Amino acid sequence: MNKTPVFSCTLPVRWGDMDAYNHVNNTVYFRFFEEARVQMIEQLAGGRIAGRDEGPVIITAACTFLRPVLYPNDVRIDCFLGEAGRSSFMTHYELFAQSDPEQLACTGDSKVVWVDHQQGKSVELPDFIRQLLD
C-alpha cells in the first residue's frame, strides 16, 4: 500500500452519531468510510458515478477502533488504494478526530468490486482506477 493518501476529506460528527456511551457509535465509522470512498471515486472519475452502467460495490468491510471520537468534532479520513485484481481493489482508511489530529482514532479496509449493474457481474476496473494502482 502506498503511504500517501490518494484522497482526504473532513466530515462533521453529528449529535445523532453518538451512542449511549457518549461517543460515536461503531456503525457510524462505516458511514464515514462510505462517504470518503464515494467522494474519492467521484473525484478520481472526474464526475459523478451515480447513474452509470458500471460502478463500485463493497464486498467486505472492516474497522479497527483505537480510541473514541466524541461530539462535537470533525473527523478527517485519509484514503489509500491497495492491492488490485482484475475487477477489484482494496481501499484502506485512517480516521483522525480534529480534537486530537495526531492520534489515529481508527483504521478500516474495504474490498471494492467494479460491477455491471445490468448484468450483476464483475467487470474489469476502469482505466482511471487502474492507473492509480499501477
Structural domains of the chain ordered from first start: 7-133 (3.10.129.10)
- Position 128 pLDDT exceeds 70: yes
Residue for cell digits 453529528?
14
The pLDDT-based confidence of 1 (bands split at 50, 70, 90) is low
Compare 24 and 130 and report the one with higher pLDDT.
Answer: 24
pLDDT single digits (tens) 16-30:
999 999 999 999 999
Q: What angle do CA 58, 65, 20 make, to 5 degrees?
A: 100
SS3 52: coil
Q: Quote the DSSP letter at residue 124.
A: P
Residue for cell digits 482508511?
93
As a whole number, the mean pLDDT across the chain is 94
Task: Over range 98-127, report the average pLDDT.
Answer: 96
Q: Please answer whether residues 124 and 114 qualify as being in contact, where contact means their C-beta atoms are separated by less than 8 angstroms.
A: yes
Task: Over range 119-132, report the average pLDDT.
Answer: 90
pLDDT single digits (tens) 33-75:
999 999 999 898 877 677 788 999 999 999 999 999 999 999 9
Prediction pTM value: 0.92
